[in-house]
Amino acid sequence: MRIVKDFLWKHGMTVGELVAKFGSLGFQAIELHEASEIILKMKKARAKIFLTFTSNMVTSGLRGFFAQLVKLGMADAIVTTSGSIEEDIMKFLGDNFEISNFNADDVQLHEKGENRIGNLLIRNESYMKFEDKMNECLNRIYEKKKRIDTSELLRELGLMFKDENSFLYQAAKNNIPVFCPGIADSAIGFHLFMFQQKHNDFIIDTIHDIKNAVLCSSHDEKKGLIALGGSISKHYAIFAGLLSGGFDYAVYLTTSHATSGSFSGATTNEAKSWGKIKDDAAAATVIGDVTITFPLVMIPVLEILKKEKLLKI
């Protein structure tokens, strides 16, 4: 029988010790501790790990952490949204995203050419630099291939951006596929559209990429999912897992709630009703801001794996 224990501060407490104490604290602290334990289990079981995240997380400082996790061998496939791609490239180009606040004067920001994402800002100039770079990159890719899967396109882009903190670069360098089923959305989708107006034989094949995603793992392999946020990135990975037998391990970190019936708020238990996660899967759902919960979940895992020499480098 597990019992609640009082949380007490100890001088010099590590993050790992903190998260361990969460396991007997209560409520979401228990779920967070469980999520950390499950990710450790999936890695030790040599499961194929799908990491999914939405673009706002790349807007934040998690972008470099995602790149680091790929470098350390903590992801075998990535699924994300289109904004992640462009903002990863913007940061590679040296643009800094400014910290503002949630109550900023948005009319004034618009007049200054600043665009707000929560309490972060992206300037119009960043999109202009991104457009110039995309035109250059797409011309180079077009010379090599006229029809290309989305994941192949992102690999080509990643190889052009030698930045240790770029998840696109680290994924390409380590031969990890990046899937973006909603590539037509956002600024990158618009620039692909504009490029295609000049080169109507240039085709981005998002449908064929489904085969690539499904073949990332087989029915016989253990499969793990770390889904940060919801949206198309989460569903695409879960559907790919369903077609290859369902996930053995799953961790969801989200701010959404199940009461809306949205996929972003759907829990790991709900996924079992579809067979997307196996009936006996080790699974946890953590409700909270991923910029807080994800580092807390991962740091104890990385410390243990490093100690046991189970990280890639």
b vs e for 200-217, b when ≥16 Cβ sit within 10 Å of the residue's Cβ? Answer: eebebebeebbebbeebb
Which are the contacts of 166, defined by CB distance < 8 A and separation ≥ 6? 63, 67, 88, 89, 91, 92, 158
Cβ 69 vs Cβ 170: under 8 Å: no
Q: Of 91, 276, 306, 307, which is the active-site residue?
A: 276
Which are the contacts of 18, defined by CB distance < 8 A and separation ≥ 6? 296
222 labelled catalytic: no
Strands in the chain per DSSP E: 48-53, 77-80, 98-99, 114-117, 120-123, 147-149, 178-179, 203-205, 223-228, 247-254, 277-287
| Interatomic CA distance for residues 78 and 188, integer angstroms | 18
How many residues does this entry show for the chain? 313
Q: Coil, strand or helix: which one is 123? A: strand
| Interatomic CA distance for residues 301 and 49, integer angstroms | 14
Q: Which amino acid is at 273?
A: S
Cβ 60 vs Cβ 90: under 8 Å: no
- CA–CA distance from 118 to each of 57, 59, 95, 127, 253 (Å)? 11, 10, 18, 18, 18
| Interatomic CA distance for residues 42 and 222, integer angstroms | 8
Q: Coil, strand or helix: which one is 100? A: coil
DSSP 146-198: SEEEHHHHHHHHHHH---TT-HHHHHHHTT--EE-TTTTSHHHHHHHHHHHHH
Which are the catalytic amino acids? Answer: 276
